Structure 1
Amino acid sequence: MKNLNINKLVKASLFLAIAIVFQVIGKTAPQISQFFVGPAINAVLILTAAICGGVFGVLVGCLTPLLAWLTGQLPSAFGPFIPFIIIGNILFILSFVIISKRGKYGKYLGIIIGAFIKYIFLWISASKLITLFQLNIPAKIANKLVIGMGIPQLITALIGGAFALLLIEILRKRKVYV
């Protein structure tokens, strides 16, 4: 049992490293950042949860926003919003993990429902909760946050989730992952 957990920990660490690489690439090319890095990170979150388990998926989902902020992928002014992004990632991952076990189409529904829940949570957080919690984010930044945490989050989660499911299917067919 201990070796199994170490195996999953190593795989999850590799997924986290892949996420960091995508974030650094996104930092060097900001014009493609959200629609390149967003789907890539969401795919990494789903792959980690599917291959290593929900706990490791959640851990990677908690670390990716912090590392995005540290690498400069996430603007420093968005720092107070990091806890909301973490919660959004957790909601996405847990929705996928729970729903994916339900029937033939569970994994697809898990991605769709998880992406929608993440989007709704992040949009409400950016448009309502930052004011409610008085996070002192300047108005100009808050407006960018509302836009960035809106429909683009839904799109990037759906694309990333679809890509993750495609990779999982390829790995299953090649008997790399069962």
Structure 2
Amino acid sequence: MNTSKETNNMIISALLLTLVVIIQILGKNIPQINQFFVGPMVNAMLLLTVYFSGVKWAILVGLLTPVLAFFTNVLAPPMAPFIPFIAAGNLLYVMVFSLFRNRKNLDIIGVLSAGITKFLFLYISATELIRLFALGIPEPVREKLAITMGLPQLITALAGGGIAITLFNMLKRRIPSLR
């Protein structure tokens, strides 16, 4: 294992995770910035972590994202029982994308597959699994959760993937070591 490469991957992942936290805090504190800005940007950072640091680091960023959102008061306390589902959705998103990432010109298929997978998992989790596991989420929160984890998740996952592909391709043309 190349230690300097792993150190670079860790630093890049930490920077992208920091950007995620900043974006989430901005979304919480500036009402004009909503889920349709924050969601795509978080998803873009997850896939950029795959591009720059690899799936291992992207999984870590994806698992930490909802936990840090909770500790920074971005995620409301009644949503705490749903943190593992959000983390698992992020995990699925980066893993499915990474399956296509290493194949020539399949990044768009990867984003579509990953976005649909994340959306389906989160929607089923919000509508069925939380009842099955009796997580004690109050009914009004469950209703809002079902809406939030529905179609908006698909839109934000696909938009975030599009942003990530665009940014990576722009950077790849300008930074020879990314080719």
SS of match in other structure, 2:143: helix
Partner of 1:157: 157
Contact 2:26/2:33 (8 A) holds in 1? no
SS of match in other structure, 1:32: coil
When the two structures are aligned, how many residues end up with a matched partner?
177
Partner of 2:51: 50
Partner of 1:96: 97
Partner of 1:146: 146
Structure 1 residue 33, shift from structure 2 partner:
2.1
Q: Trace 1:22-171 onto structure 2 (pairs within 5 A).
A: 22-104=23-105, 106-171=106-171
| Backbone CA RMSD of aligned residues | 1.0
Q: Cα deviations across residues 82-137 of structure 1 (Å, max 9, x unaligned)?
A: 00000000000000001222332x11100000000000000000000000000000
Partner of 1:175: 175
Contact 1:77/1:141 (8 A) holds in 2? yes
Structure 1 residue 31, shift from structure 2 partner:
4.6
The aligned amino acid for 1:175 is: I
Distance 2:103 2:50 in 1: 16
Distance 2:160 2:54 in 1: 18
**Structure 2: 5+ residue runs without aligned partners?**
none
Distance 1:73 1:56 in 2: 23
**Structure 1: 5+ residue runs without aligned partners?**
none
Farther off after superposition, 16-25 or 27-36: 27-36
